[in-house]
Chains A and B, each alone.
Chain A
Amino acid sequence: MKKLALLLTIVLVAAIAVPAFTAPVQAQDKLRVAVVTPSTKSDLAFSQSIYDALIAVQEERGEENFEFVLSENMFVVEDAATALRDYASQGYDLVIAHGSQYGSSLLDIAPDFPDTAFAWGTTVDTYQDQGITNVYAYEARSEEGAFVQGVMAALLSESKVVGIIGPIETGDAKLYVDGFKAGVLWQDPEIEVLVNYIQSFSDLALAAAAAEAMLAEGADVLSGSAQMVPGAVNKAKEAGALWFGTQSNQTTLSPEIVVSSQVYNWVDVLNAIIADVEAGEINGVSFALTLENDGLLIEFNEDFELDEDVQEAAEEVMQAIIDGDISFEVDEEGVLTVVEAEAE
């Protein structure tokens, strides 16, 4: 009987001990990242941009070294918060909350997992002022690429009316809309720029109606930010107007009319955070995607025959932004100003 008890004890101890010994080894081998996104990973917009970046990082590092899980469609913040906490308690090395609506959840969760790195965006707030050091922040200076696309829009518009559709006047959508408008007016102050925030991220029919209203006003170039824009793209296509995309490459929506898209490339940001995690130096800093650091890319639609002069003008402006000759300031009230360096 005693032998049996001993045997059982040994088996039991072994059962507990073996995973305990093997688990850390596995964790060291493989970096594990968890991501929560508000919409689907193939939304041709914000959520897809982080998914594409994770795939790129995984290809760089190999699946055996880099594992990621993604919870999509977390438009309910409470659900997202539950998922984020779950991932942190499951020992993921890096937990990313890909949506500016998730900030307050991280503020709550991050202090409970001091050894886990968290990241969220788009924002600049790392909560350092609240004594939290394991939260990274990232933002997209989407006004930069928007400005470049705005310049192109101004050059391509024959009717001299350009329209931009946004969801809600905040975050990178506002930066995009403001930057685009600034770019159009910088190129040609005579152009009428129509702006409409439809107050919805999901209402395709409303986005379509907003586009119709702009087209009826004579707009022949449109752009827009967020995941409800496919509704507008089709209206532009019907009317033969041009379209500029953002967040993801939107060429597939309508190859006939998409001139270019500003694409968010989070790969470098992810790699920088991952490097910190691997070095054990989680420091919660803030990153920004810019044209200069290749975080923002202007991807031209190869099937669209873009006038060479327009492309050259775009590339010049892009270079000016990269060189700092054109920069952007956003004041506390969110007003964007274009700052041009004095010519020497």
Chain B
Amino acid sequence: MIENLLTASVLASGIRLATPYLYAAIGETFGQRSGVLNLGVEGVMLMGAFTSLWAVHEITPVGATSYYAPALLAGVLVALLVGLLMGLATAVINVTLQAQQGISGIGIYLFGLGMSDLLFQKVFRGQVITVNGFPKVNIPVLSDLPVLGEVFFRQNLLVYLAFALVPATWFVLNKTTLGLNIRAVGQNPEAADAMGISVTRVRYFTVTLGGMLASLAGASLSISLVNVFQQNMTAGQGFIAVALVYFGAWQARGVMFGALLFSLVNALQLQVRTKGIDVPDEAASMAPYLLTIIALIFASRRIDQPAALTKPFERGE
């Protein structure tokens, strides 16, 4: 029974579904490790999703039947730029203006939700258009491995990049001065400040990086996973990504584990219903969310939370 459900294609689908969560949650991890909670991820994702698709659509030659590499590159760059701008705006609001982070994030989300839809209406008159997104890239040799080949090595570039970010993030946070500064600022900004680390500068960096990765998360949906844009197409994924950071206890590998678990359960519940196994649809759809909530209950007992999370820093004179 289980081998019938947990097929290579289900696992591969789970890996793909995990991609946007991974980008967004890793970006959010950087911000939170430095003490800034950004609930606006969903809004930035939507902006990234729209603008990258727009760029790909504009640059791909009319009538092209296959992907056009310069257009895809432009799509990614545009998403990064939009993420950079929205990340900077978030940093201004949260770091410089010291807004209540729980509230300001909702504002950023609503801005992204509304703005992406407005642009969609203005640019495409709300017409759903499809683009030629990132194609699958088979890694030589590895992609021929039984099961593993299909699951891991026949994905597209944005999927590979998302998973490559996991060890990179671990390295930056744990093995570099920058990472040490980020953690110091998130744990005890006063002490970090006394040591000559600019809390403001570090937080601007992490929040802006978080914005860029959130925007890339959106792009990974619109130009790699589904290759279309629709209003509100992220359907709550940005909020799940924030939850995954708690789930993963602010560690890149924990976040990856959470994203994979959530997405695999999602792929599995789709498979269960495709197979016509008699499970109530509502219960099956709830499963990934339920699992995340349960895991969060256990995760919350951990003590790894950055001590200064959500607390604005004001330099004492």
User: What A residues does B230 contact at CB under 8 A?
Assistant: 43, 202, 204, 227-228, 230
- Per the CB 8 Å criterion, the residue count for chain A at the interface is 41
Interface centre among B237, B267, B271 (most CB of A within 10 A): B271
Interface positions of A from 34 to 49, Cβ below 8 Å from B = 39-44
State in angstroms the CA–CA spacing of A196 and B274 once bound together.
6
| Cα–Cα distance between A30 and B297 once the two chains are bound (Å) | 61
B130 touches A196 (CB 8 A): no
Chain B residues within an 8 Å CB radius of A253: 128, 130, 228
Answer whether residue A208 sits at the interface, using C-beta atoms and an 8 A cutoff.
Answer: yes
Tell me whether A230 and B16 are in contact in the complex, defined as CB-CB below 8 angstroms, given that A208-B225, A210-B270 are known contacts. Answer: no
Q: Which among A40, A73, A196, A203 is the interface contact of B235 at CB below 8 angstroms?
A: A203
**Residues of chain A within 8 A of B273, CB atoms compared:** 195-197
Judge whether B10 is part of the interface by a CB distance below 8 angstroms. Answer: yes
Residue A8 lies at the interface, judged by CB distance under 8 Å to chain B: no
Task: Render B4-34 as a binary contact track against A, CB cut-off 8 A, 1 for contact.
Answer: 0001011001001100100000000000000
Whole-angstrom distance between the alpha carbons of A73 and B281 in the complex? 26
Question: Which size bracket describes the interface of B in this complex?
Answer: 35 or more
Give Cα A168–Cα B270 distance, bound, in whole angstroms. 14
Q: Does the CB pair A198–B226 fall under 8 Å?
A: no
- B281 to A, closest residue via Cβ: A197
Most buried by B among A39, A43, A200, A213: A213
Tell whether, in the assembled complex, residue A216 and residue B9 are in contact, meaning their CB atoms are under 8 Å apart. yes
Pick from B99-107, B119-127, B206-214 the stretch touching chain A.
B119-127
B226 contacts A230, C-beta separation under 8 Å: yes
* 185-216 of chain A: CB within 8 A of chain B: 194-200, 202-210, 212-214, 216
Taking the complex as formed, is A234 at the interface, i.e. its CB lies under 8 A from any CB of chain B? yes
Contact (Cβ within 8 A) B125 A233: no
A197 to B276, CA, bound (A): 11
Q: List residues of chain B with CB within 8 A of the CB of A196.
A: 270, 273-274
B130→A254 contact, CB < 8 A = yes
**Per a CB cutoff under 8 Å, which of B20, B226, B274 touches A217?**
B274
B285 proximal to A (CB < 8 A): yes
Between B16, B117, B125, B233, the greatest number of chain A beta carbons within 10 A of the residue's beta carbon is seen for B233
Residues B276 and A202 in contact, CB atoms below 8 Å apart: no
Interface string of A221-256 (1 = CB under 8 A from B): 000000110110110010000000000000011100
Question: 0/1 per residue, B225-239, Cβ < 8 Å to A?
Answer: 111101111010100
Rounded to whole angstroms, the CA-CA distance of A202 and B221 in the bound complex is 13
Query: Which of chain B's residues 124-138 have a Cβ closer than 8 Å to chain A?
Result: 125-130
CB distance from A26 to the nearest CB of B (A): 30
Q: Which residues of A contact B116 (CB under 8 A)?
A: none
Instruction: List the A side residues contacting B3 at CB < 8 Å.
Output: none
From B13, B225, B276, B285, give the contact of A194 (CB < 8 A): B276
Query: Which residues of B come within 8 Å of A, CB atoms?
Result: 7, 9-10, 13, 16-17, 20, 117, 121, 125-130, 221, 225-228, 230-233, 235, 237, 266-267, 270-271, 273-276, 281-282, 284-285
Can you name 23 A-B pairs with beta carbons within 8 Å?
A40-B126, A42-B125, A42-B127, A43-B128, A44-B128, A195-B273, A202-B232, A202-B235, A205-B17, A205-B226, A206-B17, A207-B226, A208-B225, A208-B226, A209-B13, A209-B270, A210-B270, A217-B274, A230-B128, A231-B226, A233-B130, A234-B228, A252-B129
